[in-house]
Chain A
Amino acid sequence: MIDQLKIDFEKLLEKSNFSKKNIEIKRKNFENFIEKGFPNRREENWKFSDLNQIISKNIKNLSFYNDLSKPNKIDQSIFIHGLEHNKLVFVNGRIEKIEFDYEEKNKIELLDDLVLEKFNNTSNSLLFLNNAFVSKYFKLIVKKNYSLKKPLVIYNITNEDLVSKSINLKVDILLEENSSLKLIEFSNDKSITNFININYKFDLQKNSILKNYKIDNNSNSNVKYSFSNINQNSNSVSETFLLSSGSKFVKNEINCNLNGKYASAFVNGVFILDETKHHEIKTNINHLIENTKSYQLIKGVLEDTSKAVYQGKIFVDSKAQKTDGYQLSKAILLNDNTEFNAKPELEIYADDVKCSHGSASGSLNEDSIFYLMSRGLNYQEAKKLLINGFLLDVVEKITDSEIKNLVKNIMSLKQ
């Protein structure tokens, strides 16, 4: 694989015209990646999901150069209907559409000619890979006091033309003071066995609000990693909801730094997995100053031989008195071959804090099924009602009612 990496990297540099500065940074990142390789289970963070093995098992002849010279057709039927929204559309890793029709033009800014970060303080090799191979790096700025009138949907669409490629995308979002954004990341994949590596960075200035909904719902054979780094200033709120269901493998990693007083972070997620799917949610919520709050609720329903992992970490700095941290995970295992791994981690250096965690997994309650069937529902209907009821309270946490309805529709939770 190393030979392929080198050939593809040189090809990328040759075919693109990156700035001198960026080429220098890319080379450095490339070397870092070559040195570390894909993460494996020897790293604590990857203990339950050995990416190196998952890639070699699921993707034959992975290549890293993706020709972006020709535009891709957009399948309009994939777009979310019944919800007015702005669009950033990526097809096979290439930006194909930028549309902010609902917004005041001077209140937002979209940059794509950026100098890459150096990542001095990370050991995450996938960020190195991303930096080395990303071709266009976007940054969206929402100006002071502006709230986007409509949600922004970032579409990550892949089609049949894409086979065994590594796709790297990078998007930064800056919310200036008192601004707000509702962001939906919507994937739709018809491609075959690719590795999709996305790196988001969010900077939330004072009093800003980010609502981030990640929806991966259609079945596909891709392996995905998404890293979101969220930096929050005082009084800012981040709300993340994950519908983790469609892809063969997904790891969503969320690193959230609560840097300003009264900042709060909410991470809620649902796994709905079948066949041999393997999904993970990994969070690091860092309470770095007093009076910050975090809340995490993760639920999963697992069928066949699927596997879900939740590693939720709450870190409380010695300065972070009056921290309020909460996490709970629950799973229904529909048969004996499924697996749910929950690893709560609490690292607390302050003494006046409120932190709690819990985790539970079990099978569907047969007595509840009997109760519902004795009222005329057949087994499948009873099972569906119980599962939907189990998942509903996570979806109810979505604070935007329009998007909550959308998610309920997607999950067929409408009652």
Chain B
Amino acid sequence: MLKIKNLNADIENKSILNNFNLEIKPGEVHAIMGPNGSGKSTLSNILSGKKGYDVSGEILFENKNIFELETEERAHKGIFLAFQYPLEIPGVNTNIFLKTSLNAIRKARGEKELDAIEFLKLVKLKAKELKFDEEKLNRQLNVGFSGGEKKKNEILQMSILNPKLSILDETDSGLDIDALKIVADGVNSLRKKDNSFLIITHYQRLLDYIKPDYVHVLMNGKIIKSGGPELALELEKKGYENFN
């Protein structure tokens, strides 16, 4: 599904990722762990098409290079990024935003757009699954939401948009245990043979709830070690500094 080959990324002449390689097959869950400043967020930004980086190498999504695609075109193809810091958008109603987003993606895929009633039915169901307070959906997007609510809102969007590849950028940070469980349940319920996940995190805590197929350790813009879930535990014990 996703093949990253020799990816280099610089920002203002500072190298962030160098010769980064990764392959994710359909249905797989990959976790990338790394210390602050190792390039984790840059990776997720680049996968989503954020501007401002000098990049070279290749990113193939379903065997097509996506370098030239705009952010929204990548979303249409089924790439979803759950933000580390979801933005507050004043004056934009959450429900209306969700509907606009879903229909933009459905339209781009040549699917029928949902009308208000069909949409509300879907969103109610998903909100209930995630124990997301429905009343909040009538508020301005993320405005006045707690940290946990913002993260849950990301997972709600993910479950409504039903992407092929979901990138979770430190979705676990700032969550209490209950919220963490709900978020993990949300992710687990979306795990299907065609859906893949890239989970970016500092801690192995989230991986207690979402069992990854592969764990990669990212240091200084490069994957220095890959392995199974046991790698996360080893990392937790040793710390990044002593890890080789």
Binding site for B on A (CB under 8 A): 365, 367-368, 370-379, 381, 385-386, 388-393, 415
Residues of A within 8 A of B50 (CB): 370
Residues of B within 8 A of A379 (CB): 70, 72
Distance in Å: Cβ of B100 to nearest Cβ of chain A: 7
Interchain residue pairs with CB less than 8 A apart (26)? A365-B87, A367-B87, A371-B87, A371-B89, A372-B97, A374-B49, A374-B71, A374-B72, A374-B74, A374-B75, A376-B72, A376-B76, A376-B102, A376-B104, A377-B100, A381-B104, A385-B97, A386-B92, A388-B91, A389-B90, A389-B140, A390-B90, A391-B91, A392-B91, A393-B90, A415-B96
Distance in Å: Cβ of A368 to nearest Cβ of chain B: 5
Does B21 touch A at the CB level, under 8 Å? no
A393 touches B104 (CB 8 A): no
Partner of A385, one of B83, B87, B100, B161: B100
Distance in Å: Cβ of B79 to nearest Cβ of chain A: 8
Q: With A375-B97, A391-B91 given, can you name 20 additional A-B contacts, CB distance below 8 Å? A: A368-B87, A370-B50, A370-B51, A372-B101, A373-B70, A373-B71, A373-B72, A374-B49, A375-B105, A375-B157, A376-B72, A376-B75, A376-B76, A376-B104, A377-B101, A378-B70, A385-B89, A389-B89, A389-B92, A415-B96
Distance in Å: Cβ of A411 to nearest Cβ of chain B: 12
Residues of A within 8 A of B81 (CB): 374
Within 8 A of A (CB), among B71-130: 71-72, 74-76, 80-81, 83, 86-87, 89-93, 96-97, 100-102, 104-105, 108
User: Given A376-B72, A376-B104, A378-B72: A371 and B86 within 8 A (CB)?
Assistant: yes
Binding site for A on B (CB under 8 A): 48-51, 70-72, 74-76, 80-81, 83, 86-87, 89-93, 96-97, 100-102, 104-105, 108, 140, 157, 161
State A385–B74 Cα separation when bound (angstroms). Answer: 20
State A375–B161 Cα separation when bound (angstroms). Answer: 8
State A367–B51 Cα separation when bound (angstroms). Answer: 10
Instruction: Report, nearest first, the 8 A-B pairs whose CB atoms are least far apart.
Output: A389-B91, A373-B71, A376-B104, A392-B91, A375-B101, A376-B105, A376-B75, A389-B92
Distance in Å: Cβ of B170 to nearest Cβ of chain A: 15
Distance in Å: Cβ of A51 to nearest Cβ of chain B: 34
> What residue in chain B is nearest A386 (Cβ atoms)?
B89
Residues of B within 8 A of A378 (CB): 70, 72, 104
Residues of B within 8 A of A367 (CB): 87
A375 touches B140 (CB 8 A): no
Distance in Å: Cβ of B58 to nearest Cβ of chain A: 21
B71 touches A370 (CB 8 A): yes
State A393–B90 Cα separation when bound (angstroms). Answer: 9
> What residue in chain A is nearest B142 (Cβ atoms)?
A371
State A375–B76 Cα separation when bound (angstroms). Answer: 8
State A37–B74 Cα separation when bound (angstroms). Answer: 61
Residues of A within 8 A of B101 (CB): 372, 375-377
B100 touches A381 (CB 8 A): yes
> What residue in chain A is nearest B44 (Cβ atoms)?
A374
User: Given A370-B50, A390-B91: A375 and B75 within 8 A (CB)?
Assistant: yes
> What residue in chain A is nearest B93 (Cβ atoms)?
A415
Distance in Å: Cβ of B93 to nearest Cβ of chain A: 6
Distance in Å: Cβ of B2 to nearest Cβ of chain A: 16
> What residue in chain A is nearest B87 (Cβ atoms)?
A371
Residue of B74, B75, B140 contacting most chain A CB atoms (<10 Å): B75
Distance in Å: Cβ of A358 to nearest Cβ of chain B: 15
